[in-house]
Amino acid sequence: MKEIPLEHILFVSTALFFIGIYGLFTRRNLITMLMSVELILNSVNINFIAFNKYLYPEKMDGIFFTLFIIAIAAAEAAVAIAIIINLYRNLNSIDVEQTDEMKY
Amino acid sequence: MMSASAVIFYILSVFILATGLLAVTTGKIFRSAIWLLFSLTGIAGLYFWLQMEFIAAVQVVVYVGGIVVLIIFSIFLTQRSGKELPAPLRGRAILSALAVCAGFLLTYPLIGRYHFKTRGSANHVMDASVGNIGMQLLGTSEHGYLLPFEVISILLLAAMIGCIVIAYKSKPGDK
């Protein structure tokens, strides 16, 4: 495992982060935007695990941060989907262009 | 000649990035969710490759088994799953692609130029067994994480109650 340099793992996580950003920029549907956010959070998790494994193998803080991020992502997804379903019930659409009730 | 471990890493990386890219570009929302599922499974495989079995198991259980299923349920509740999503405006897609490429080209050379002092695994063998993680996660000693753990449990409770309150169907009479 150690013959792979850390930079290659960071390449994967950086690329995944920017793929998520691209999805967040181009998608106009709340559920697909939520999926992009999940990709971004996962790229951060890969970073934490790789740094923990390669730079500080005697500690475990990266593991704990990853576990906390996964827990918060689960809570965030649940709340976001509750909001999306409520929005759909009221507006009959989950397109971000039409969710402008609180804008003016 | 690459070793089998390196080959597995590069296959996993290509798989994660390709399915992630498909998840954000495909035109049908249900397919997008399935590509996201594949990408998250690939990341779980990457954790297995890094010998973090517990994190990989948590990834499979929480993300693949929980969040993606939740997303698929919400797709079924809010729209017809086979429906074609409107394609992003061409100008917006090109601009976002440019912005993303610029960000990547700005970030990755910085990472590549910073020489990480990777420490050898000879003197420190990482012990990421479940018992060890549990002892330190719930420990009150110097590097214990008991307080964040309790805060997270309160956060999860608050999120659960918040979900129920938000999604609760009010009676047609009271507004």
- Using CA atoms, how far apart are residues A6 and A72, in angstroms rounded to an integer? 26
Please state the rounded mean pLDDT for residues B57-66: 92
Residue among A2, A8, A11, A22 with most chain B CBs within 10 A, to mutate: A22
- pLDDT confidence of residue A47: 94
Within 136-175 of B, beta carbons closer than 8 Å to A belong to 136-137, 143, 145, 148, 152, 155-156, 159-160, 162-164, 166-167, 169
For helices B4-25 and B29-49, angle between their N-to-C axes, nearest 10 degrees: 160
Tell me how close the Cα of B77 comes to any Cα of chain A, in angstroms.
8
- pLDDT confidence of residue A87: 85
Chain A interface includes B16 (CB < 8 A): yes
Domains and CATH numbers, chain A: 6-91 (1.10.287.3510)
* Chain A, chain B: beta-carbon pairs less than 8 Å apart: 221
CA dist B39 → A7, A38, A80, B63, B149 (Å): 20, 11, 21, 11, 28
**Domain boundary assignment for chain B:** 1-85, 129-175
Considering chain B, what percentage of its residues have pLDDT values greater than 90?
A: 50
- pLDDT confidence of residue B121: 54
Encode pLDDT of B7-43 as tens digits: 999 999 999 999 999 999 988 888 999 999 999 999 9
Chain A interface includes B129 (CB < 8 A): no
Above 60 in pLDDT, residue B99? yes
Query: Of B53-57, B76-80, B133-137, which has the strongest mean pLDDT?
Result: B53-57
- Using CA atoms, how far apart are residues B29 and A35, in angstroms rounded to an integer? 10
Q: Is A18–B100 a contact, with Cβ atoms under 8 angstroms apart?
A: yes
Q: Which residue stretches of chain A have pLDDT < 70?
A: 1-2, 102-104
Above 70 in pLDDT, residue B153? yes
Encode pLDDT of B37-60 as tens digits: 999 999 999 999 998 899 999 999
In a 3-state reduction of DSSP, which class is residue B84? strand
Encode pLDDT of B105-117 as tens digits: 999 999 888 888 7
Q: Is A21–B100 a contact, with Cβ atoms under 8 angstroms apart?
A: yes
- The complex's ipTM? 0.91
- pLDDT confidence of residue A41: 95
Q: How many CA atoms lie within 13 A of A82 on its CB side?
A: 17
CATH number of B1-85: 1.20.120.1200
